[in-house]
A and B are shown apart, each in its own frame.
Chain A
Amino acid sequence: MDLKITEQADNLLKDNGVRTEEILDIIKNAESGGSKLVSKDGNTCIAKGASENLTIYAVYSATELLDVYTHKMNILGITGGEIKPVEYDDESDWVCAKCNEPALERNVDMAYLGVTRPGPGIVCPKCGEMYVSAGMAKSTLKTAEAILEEKRA
């Protein structure tokens, strides 16, 4: 798959400290192994990969890399340990491609520099794969990481 990387996407890669080969590898692995989220309309995918201390997400269409985001936090697991049924509608806009199962919006525990807290995640109820949305990673997690890193300054 030959993806177009626009100047904007290239800047995102640089901002996040991700190399082009790295993101292409992540997408290639997701495509071959099927571990990815697909939007319900089928047009957009999210693939996830990890480098040293960094979780990297690629949002892409069939032709183009649309977005790149990262978090340094480590996703430990579902808050509370298992996926229990809830009364409200918790279905996300995404489907786990491997299981063909709608992914759920559930809290996951994330840890960074000795502090563990829950935050909203996107979880496949079947295989248990956990993702974080772009909005969550770019705002909340990035800010919390910066606060915790301030302790070095």
Chain B
Amino acid sequence: MEPIESIESLCPECLGKIDGIKYVEDGKVYIKKECPEHGSFTTLICEDVDHYLQMEECFDVNRSRARDSLTDIQKGCPFDCGLCPSHKQDTCLAVVEITDRCDMGCKYCFASSSMDKSLDPDMDTIRFMFETVKKCQNKPTCIQISGGEPTLRDDLAQIIRMGKEVGIDHIELNTNGCRIASDQDYFDSIASAGLDAIYLGFDGVSDDIYMQRTGKKLFDIKAEVINRCEKAGIGVVLVPLVAKNYNLHEVGKIIEFAGSRVPAVRGVHFQPVFYSGRAPSGREGRITILELLRQIEEQTGGQLKVENFTPSLMPHAHCGATCLAVIDNGGFLPLTNISLGAIKSASDVASKTKKSIMGRWKGSEKDNQDAQKEDTDKASCGDLIVKSSCCEKPLTQLTVKGSCCEKPIDEVIPKKNRLESGWADFIEKSMNSYLTISTMAFQDVWSYEKDRVENCCIHVVTRDGRFVPFCNYNMTDCDGRFLYRNAA
């Protein structure tokens, strides 16, 4: 056993602050922590210390803090969330939950949502939450409307419209898709209210998977959501929860399906199961980021390799991994590779992540509208950001700087030179036909590291106008009692 570093964590039994150690044994990385009252707990973090350290080496961001802290430090992290002055990272995505209710009754649910009689926040409360985001988050402001299942509310369109009125730049909707697939009028109303993207729960390409989690056949519903979003020009990100003994064997098929629906589908965002809220007893389903990436490599026949995933520009080197791939003759051509290492970046993590959320995950039609808008308000969101000496622009807007010409690509590259499968074709495909495959490993009470959460940039907005890092907000002890949710 070879120690890497000491960490601050939580006791799974009592949620008390306890110390722990991160160490290597047989090449694997573990966290071991000890509660004076409840004994010691050991959790596997990564199967390969080399990969673990490589992710750290490749991770390099300049941080910016929130504009202002809203709470004081009293008991120390994670008990003073709001954000408190010790939090190191501004918000990149603010999650606004507009209901706790959900009719799906999933076996896994970090929010423990059910069709109880809990009261939804009223419009004034939601406006206050939006305004809090507008006030505290650096521009551009990004919100995910979540729950519960937000489409259970009949006034969702008004909520989205209100968000836009308040001045939120990007609004995405986290949904199971059922109402969108069955109620065209409802979908039309939220689309025309200004919805930017859909974050669609999508655990597999076979009904067998959905039956296991929900007892319902949902695949056709998911496919219909994509059809409708495609027509409306709203980008879709597929969001599979991934667990062993559940759908880990389908990750390759999910990526393949997503590739076949590009550009309507902009990304696949895998979420390895974490044991907050409601989950089957035992923790057999747990997988690490590396295990997931290895499965992706195997199941895509090596088209997307472990090395093609670089640390997401997220809070921490071990919170997520991202791969950007061009769809090329039906296959995937990854553009990212961890071996290329880190570069010094001029922009900070939250603004980069926002660019990613807003650009890569937004509908293509909206990209164009926003690209035009960008010219006037100089916002810096976009899709493939091409960094060169002097310009940082979305690829769709890229002009080629040279001695004599500064023209859109279309004019610079003559049609006759567009050799099929040549470099010009490669550029065209990179602009129009690509998929972001990413994963985010949320923390539960077993894997909790204070250092990670202090750098978190995904924050849930509470009804009384505070920001709580996502993992803290959903943190439960081993009996499912929340640290913040319901209490907040």
Contacts and interface: CB of A to CB of B under 8 A. Distances in A.
Interface of A: 8, 11-12, 15, 67, 69, 107, 110, 113-115, 117-120, 135-136, 138-144, 146-153
Interface string B418-446: 01011111110010000000000000000
A132 B419 CA distance: 15
B319 interface: no
Given A8-B403, A153-B343, A153-B345, A118 B422 contact: yes
A151 B335 contact: yes
Nearest to B326: A147
Contacts of A147: 335, 384, 386, 395, 426-427, 430
Nearest to B398: A143
Contact of B337 (A67, A141, A151): A151
Contacts of B423: 110, 117-119, 140-141, 144
Contacts of B487: none
Contacts of B343: 152-153
Interface in B209-235: none
Given A147-B335, A150-B384, A151-B336, A118 B419 contact: yes
A115 B422 CA distance: 11
Nearest to B333: A115
A135 B417 CA distance: 10
B297 to A, nearest CB: 16
A148 B310 CA distance: 14
B4 interface: no
Contacts of A12: 403
Interface string B399-430: 01011010001001110010101111111001
Task: Please classify how large the interface on chain B is, using the bins under 10, 10 to 19, 20 to 34, 35 or more.
Answer: 35 or more
Nearest to B420: A118
Contacts of B310: 151
A148 B335 contact: yes
A110 B386 CA distance: 20
Contact of B409 (A67, A143, A150): A143
B403 A139 contact: no
B353 to A, nearest CB: 12
B385 A117 contact: no
B387 A146 contact: yes
Contact of A115 (B395, B417, B426): B426
A140 B413 contact: yes
B419 A107 contact: yes
B400 A138 contact: yes
17 contacts: A107-B422, A117-B421, A136-B417, A138-B405, A139-B402, A139-B405, A140-B412, A140-B427, A142-B388, A143-B386, A143-B409, A146-B387, A150-B387, A151-B310, A151-B324, A152-B340, A153-B345
A147 B417 CA distance: 19
Contacts of A136: 417
Contacts of B421: 117-118
A113 B386 CA distance: 16
B413 A139 contact: yes
A18 B143 CA distance: 46
Interface string B249-260: 000000000000
Interface in B340-387: 340-343, 345, 384-387
B389 interface: yes
Given A147-B386, A147-B430, 11 more contacts: A110-B423, A114-B337, A138-B403, A138-B412, A142-B388, A142-B400, A143-B427, A149-B387, A150-B324, A150-B387, A153-B387
Contact of B426 (A15, A107, A114, A144): A144
A118 B420 CA distance: 9
Nearest to A107: B419
A139 B415 CA distance: 13
Given A151-B337, A152-B343, A139 B426 contact: no
A127 to B, nearest CB: 24
A10 to B, nearest CB: 11
A67 B395 CA distance: 26
A122 to B, nearest CB: 13
Contacts of A117: 421-423, 425-426
Contacts of B335: 147-148, 150-151
Nearest to A14: B389
B305 to A, nearest CB: 11
Contacts of A141: 423
A135 B412 CA distance: 8
B427 A67 contact: no
B422 A150 contact: no
B417 A120 contact: yes
A150 B402 contact: no
A11 B390 CA distance: 14
Contacts of A135: 412, 414
